Amino acid sequence: MSNPSNLRYATTHEWAKQDSDVVTVGVTAFAIEQLTEPTYLELPAVGAALKAGDKFGIIESYKSTSDLYSPVSGTVIERNEPLVDEGKRKGDPKPVNDDAFGAGWMVKIKLAPSATLDHLLTAEQYDQQLASEGH
């Protein structure tokens, strides 16, 4: 599995993709491989304010339940709605499994003033983290 070089990474296995002041966030293919296929996803409401490192959601698999952490500070402006359960509508987080870096994106966050992605790992650094963890 390769981690795209145009993304930045949190040590907690979320990825962040910047397009001017909007950052798209998801979790890495490595994280999904560890969790096994996702069965349930909980995401923050549009408008939620997050600081880098804040818990922003929950991802569940048949095997485990894990927290998701925001890689950046800002405000949620969009969610990947089809992935999420809401009222009677049952979401399907399958795209997270099939395309973690693409269709499986989770939220778009408008960066807070002066917030950056500088604290996040580059793909190369993230690869090194995985290697040092023995993966």
Chain residues binding other proteins by CB under 8 A are: 33-34, 36-37, 39-40, 42, 58, 60-65, 85, 90, 97
Specify the 3-state DSSP secondary structure of 27: strand
Residue 110's region, left for phi above 0, alpha for psi from -120 to 50, else beta, is beta
Across-strand partners of 69? 55
| Shortest distance, position 100 Cβ to other proteins, whole Å | 14
Specify the 3-state DSSP secondary structure of 103: coil
Confirm if 111 and 74 have CB atoms less than 8 A apart: yes
| Shortest distance, position 76 Cβ to other proteins, whole Å | 19
Report the distance separating Cα 105 and Cα 96, nearest Å: 7
| Shortest distance, position 62 Cβ to other proteins, whole Å | 4
Q: Which is nearer to other proteins, 21 or 67 (CB)?
A: 67
Q: Which is nearer to other proteins, 64 or 128 (CB)?
A: 64
| Shortest distance, position 42 Cβ to other proteins, whole Å | 8
Q: Closest by alpha carbon to 100, among 19, 22, 41, 21?
A: 41
Q: Which is nearer to other proteins, 90 or 133 (CB)?
A: 90
Q: Which is nearer to other proteins, 61 or 70 (CB)?
A: 61
